[in-house]
């Protein structure tokens, strides 16, 4: 086994690829939530100036990428690789958002784990000596997701209490070799975990076992104590999935206490915003990471974060054919030096 | 710029990640075509023993992966990373095919360029020191693709002469550090190229400009002569797209002659199999590479191949909303030593 591989699922990145800039763009509802101060742009218009929600999603991602380049003071041509994807069929949110970027592009599909997946690969490209600057990004839009995965919005379908609210949001992280700012020190890549959950209105339950699997692998591979990180934050398990994950860890005699958090629980006010179990969608963890979490790292609140993107790898077709909902979780260790 | 990066889009892999084993599984029609002698398994049953075509696709991929592991004499647990994806919405062909593999998994979406994209990343993971053994794989199924992208099969929709036939097939390539067998020496990562083609029945025309862009970048970045490779083979441009690519190169005063080939033109007999412009789908280039092309390398026919996976990054929704069809092409240099 190579030296960078320090366990079955984890690699250590000794060059510490660092975050040069990050940006997040969200919709109106997200902009009314508790994290409103951390977003770079809040659109009052859910169409983002376009005439379909799918085009709105692409435009949001494009705008987000542009803001990130601006903050990093880099033209897109200085970025060697983009890693991105989204929830839309054939990932067209990303394709149309990035098609004019002129940057070599690796398309990903990791469902709501896409930001963590992209961040993993973008960091490994730098640590492996393939690039000096890379970017990871993703997006989701409530309206395009709702009609693709559930019902036409006009139908006003009932939601179950375990259902989550797809975040209208995009996040971009630009990495480089400079070593300043939050750095990526370890990447733990997830395996697909399937515990047989079949309720597409309860994605949290489907994803929680994969989060347990990857987070346990991370601590086992690195040999770090369970209290090493200031926070261990999952992508978007929501209220139901978060409680399940907490229980799963307690059954293994691990109690993260208040350190175990979830992006889906942070982005909305569960009491005031009628979002049932919390936020979801690729844009959820991407926007929370790019704004709130990185701000918390640089201002000293959380110098060490284990960011654990979680994804439910299902489609409406697989659900209608009675298939289970396999989950995946990719963990990225972010540390200040 | 790092040393491995030898041009805007190309990296040189000095450790020469090599192909430990490759496998391909196809359907009956593919097994009646000119490459029938190169497939590891030809299924007489288009359902592969399942009760839906989507499940058939997953089962085909699972079988293909199993054969590859067997040929490499490796248990799946010895593989550090899988890179895979497919054409189905949310890439469920791959998810359900690999969910029990227990191997860390990076999900990709590159449409029909997926094998080249996966091969690029799988090789870079090894060259970057992150793994000793990785795998790239993908699949497509005529019946699942047809009903998702075009019409219900029962409808018997008319096809246009430029339309291609989605290959029922899967391909797996296992890479390792050993340096024997065909090696990957360079990876040229594609940019999204959009020339405004809007006809979803003419994917070849949509993808040809991206193939031109990436192949030109490869030769410019490496400084190699245009006659360096024994063959330069695109994924699945088909008859129409292949002719366009040939013309595009001629307009740049480059004539590859018989060295310019296309997997979509090899897998079927265009005269005898009623496939119009040729084969397409993720499984097309994957199965042709894993069987016919690698056999041609090891038997000395083509010691040097530039394998150029091409993908059309559209969805039925984007097409119905009047969007163009952006293309992408990733090139991987395969050489015998």
Count of residues making up chain A? 337
Using a CB–CB cutoff of 8 Å, tell me whether B117 touches chain A. Answer: yes
Q: Are residues B290 and B204 in the same domain?
A: yes
Q: Is A136 left (phi over 0), alpha (psi -120 to 50) or beta?
A: beta
Q: Are residues A198 and A282 in the same domain?
A: yes
Query: Could you tell me which of B87, B101, B15 has the C-alpha nearest to residue B57?
Result: B87
Instruction: Give every CB contact of residue A320 below 8 A, 6+ residues apart in sequence.
Output: none
Q: Are the Cβ atoms of A87 and B89 closer than 8 angstroms?
A: no
Q: Is B67 left (phi over 0), alpha (psi -120 to 50) or beta?
A: alpha
Using a CB–CB cutoff of 8 Å, tell me whether B131 touches chain A. Answer: yes
In a domain, B312, yes or no: yes
Residues 164-223 of A with CB under 8 A from B: 189-192, 194
Q: Are residues B219 and B148 in the same domain?
A: no
Alpha helices, DSSP H, located in A73-201 = 92-98, 114-127, 142-149
Q: Are the Cβ atoms of A129 and B2 closer than 8 angstroms?
A: yes
Minimal Cα distance from A105: which residue of B?
B191
> Residue A181 — pLDDT band, cuts 50, 70, 90?
confident
Q: Are residues A208 and A230 in the same domain?
A: yes
Task: Decide: B268 and B280 in contact? Cβ < 8 Å.
Answer: no
Q: In whole angstroms, what is the distance from residue A277 CA to residue A161 CA?
A: 6
Strands (E), chain B: 10-12, 18-26, 41-42, 81-86, 105-107, 133-140, 165-166, 169-176, 183-188, 231-234, 260-262, 279-280, 304-312, 327-335
Q: Are residues B155 and B194 in the same domain?
A: no
In a domain, A279, yes or no: yes
* Domain count of the fold of chain A: 2
Which ipTM did the prediction report? 0.97
Domain boundary among B143, B176, B209: B176
What's the CATH code of the domain at A219? 3.40.47.40
Could you tell me which residues are beta bridge partners of residue A133?
A176
Q: Are residues A101 and A40 in the same domain?
A: yes
Q: In whole angstroms, what is the distance from residue A183 CA to residue A181 CA?
A: 6
Task: Decide: A112 and A281 in contact? Cβ < 8 Å.
Answer: yes
Q: In whole angstroms, what is the distance from residue A238 CA to residue A244 CA?
A: 10
Domain boundary among A176, A193, A212: A176
Using a CB–CB cutoff of 8 Å, tell me whether A303 touches chain B. Answer: no
In a domain, A43, yes or no: yes
Minimal Cα distance from B129: which residue of A?
A2
In a domain, A232, yes or no: yes
Which pLDDT score is estimated for B31?
98
Q: Are residues B206 and B260 in the same domain?
A: yes
Give the pairing type, strands A279-280 and A165-166.
parallel
Q: What's the count of helices (H) and strands (E) in chain B, helices before strands?
A: 11, 14
In a domain, B2, yes or no: no
Report pTM. Answer: 0.98
Q: What is the pLDDT of residues A11-43, one digit of tens each?
A: 999 999 999 999 999 999 999 999 999 999 999
Domain boundary among A148, A176, A204: A176
Q: What is the pLDDT of residues A185-231, one digit of tens each?
A: 999 999 999 999 999 889 999 999 999 999 999 999 999 999 999 99
Q: Are the Cβ atoms of B107 and A117 closer than 8 angstroms?
A: yes
Q: What 3-state DSSP class applies to B306?
A: strand
Phi first, then psi: give them for residue A327, nearest 5 degrees: -115, 165
- List the domain range (segments joined by +) for residue A323: 183-335
Q: Which secondary-structure segment (H or E) carries B297?
A: helix B294-298
In a domain, B5, yes or no: no
Which pLDDT score is estimated for A149?
93
Q: In whole angstroms, what is the distance from residue B2 CA to residue B7 CA?
A: 10
Q: Are residues A270 and A285 in the same domain?
A: yes
Using a CB–CB cutoff of 8 Å, tell me whether A101 touches chain B. Answer: yes
In a domain, A3, yes or no: no
Determine the average pLDDT of the residues in A72-100: 97
Determine the average pLDDT of the residues in A235-252: 97
In a domain, B311, yes or no: yes
Which pLDDT score is estimated for B2?
63
Q: Are the Cβ atoms of B5 and A131 closer than 8 angstroms?
A: yes
Q: Are the Cβ atoms of A103 and B191 closer than 8 angstroms?
A: yes
Q: Are residues A132 and A197 in the same domain?
A: no
Q: What is the pLDDT of residues A156-167, one digit of tens each?
A: 888 888 999 999
Q: What is the pLDDT of residues B208-260, one digit of tens each?
A: 999 999 999 999 999 999 999 999 999 999 999 999 999 999 999 999 999 99
DSSP A43: -
Task: Decide: B7 and B186 in contact? Cβ < 8 Å.
Answer: no
The CA-based dihedral angle spanning residues A89, A91, A97, A98, taken in that order and rounded to the nearest 10 degrees: -150
The C-alpha of B233 sits at a distance from chain A's nearest C-alpha, in angstroms, of 20
Q: Are residues A305 and A282 in the same domain?
A: yes
Q: Is residue A1 pLDDT above 60, yes or no?
A: no
Task: Give the number of other CB atoms < 10 A from CB of residue A306.
Answer: 27
Which pLDDT score is estimated for A2?
63
Instruction: Classify burial at B1, counting beta carbons within 10 Å of its beta carbon; exposed 0-12, middle 13-18, buried 19 or more.
Output: exposed
> Can you spell out the DSSP letters for B41-88?
EE-S-TTTTSSSHHHHHHHHHHHHHHHHHHHHT--GGG--EEEEEESS
Which pLDDT score is estimated for A225?
98
Cα of first residue to Cα of last residue in chain B, in angstroms, is 28
Determine the average pLDDT of the residues in A332-336: 98
Q: What is the pLDDT of residues A52-68, one digit of tens each?
A: 999 999 999 999 999 99
Q: Extract the residue ranges of chain B whose pLDDT is less than 50.
A: none
Q: Are residues B260 and B157 in the same domain?
A: no
Residues 51-70 of A with CB under 8 A from B: 52, 54-55
Q: Are residues B192 and B327 in the same domain?
A: yes
Which pLDDT score is estimated for B1?
53
Query: What average pLDDT does the structure give for chain A?
Result: 96
Instruction: Classify burial at A177, counting beta carbons within 10 Å of its beta carbon; exposed 0-12, middle 13-18, buried 19 or more.
Output: middle
Q: Are the Cβ atoms of B328 and A105 closer than 8 angstroms?
A: yes
Task: Decide: B26 and B167 in contact? Cβ < 8 Å.
Answer: yes
Q: Are the Cβ atoms of B314 and A92 closer than 8 angstroms?
A: yes
Q: What is the pLDDT of residues B157-181, one digit of tens each?
A: 888 889 999 999 999 999 999 877 8
Q: What is the pLDDT of residues A142-160, one digit of tens each?
A: 999 999 998 888 888 888 8
């Amino acid at each position: 086994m190579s030296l960078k591989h320090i366990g079955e699922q984890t690699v250590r990145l000794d060059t510490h690829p660092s975050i040069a800039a990050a940006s997040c763009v969200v919709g109106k509802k997200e902009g009314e939530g508790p994290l409103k101060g951390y977003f770079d742009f809040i659109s009052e218009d859910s169409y983002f100036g376009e005439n379909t929600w799918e085009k709105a999603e692409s435009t949001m991602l494009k705008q987000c990428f542009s803001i990130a380049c601006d903050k990093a003071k880099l033209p897109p041509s200085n970025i060697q690789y983009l890693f991105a994807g989204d929830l839309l069929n054939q990932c067209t949110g990303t394709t149309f958002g990035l098609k004019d970027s002129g940057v070599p592009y690796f398309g990903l599909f990791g469902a709501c784990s896409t930001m963590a997946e992209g961040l993993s690969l973008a960091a490994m490209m730098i640590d492996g000596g393939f690039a000096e600057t890379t970017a990871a990004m993703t997006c989701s839009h409530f309206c395009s997701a709702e009609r693709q995965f559930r019902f036409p919005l006009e139908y006003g379908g009932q939601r179950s209490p375990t259902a989550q609210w797809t975040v209208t949001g995009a996040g971009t992280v630009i990495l480089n070799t400079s070593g300043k700012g939050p750095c990526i020190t370890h990447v733990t890549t997830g395996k697909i975990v399937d515990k047989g959950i079949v309720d597409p209105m309860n994605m949290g339950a489907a994803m929680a076992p994969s989060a347990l699997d990857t987070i346990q692998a991370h601590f086992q591979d690195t040999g770090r104590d369970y209290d090493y990180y200031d926070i261990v934050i999952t992508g978007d398990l929501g209220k139901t999935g978060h409680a399940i994950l907490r229980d799963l860890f307690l059954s293994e005699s691990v109690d993260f206490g208040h350190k175990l958090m979830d992006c889906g629980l942070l982005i909305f006010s569960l009491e005031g915003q009628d979002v049932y179990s919390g936020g979801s969608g690729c844009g959820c963890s991407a926007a929370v990471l790019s704004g709130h979490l990185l701000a918390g790292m640089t201002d000293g609140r959380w110098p060490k974060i284990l960011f654990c993107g979680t994804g439910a790898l299902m489609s409406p077709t697989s659900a209608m054919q009675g298939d289970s909902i396999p989950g995946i979780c990719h963990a990225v260790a972010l540390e200040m030096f």
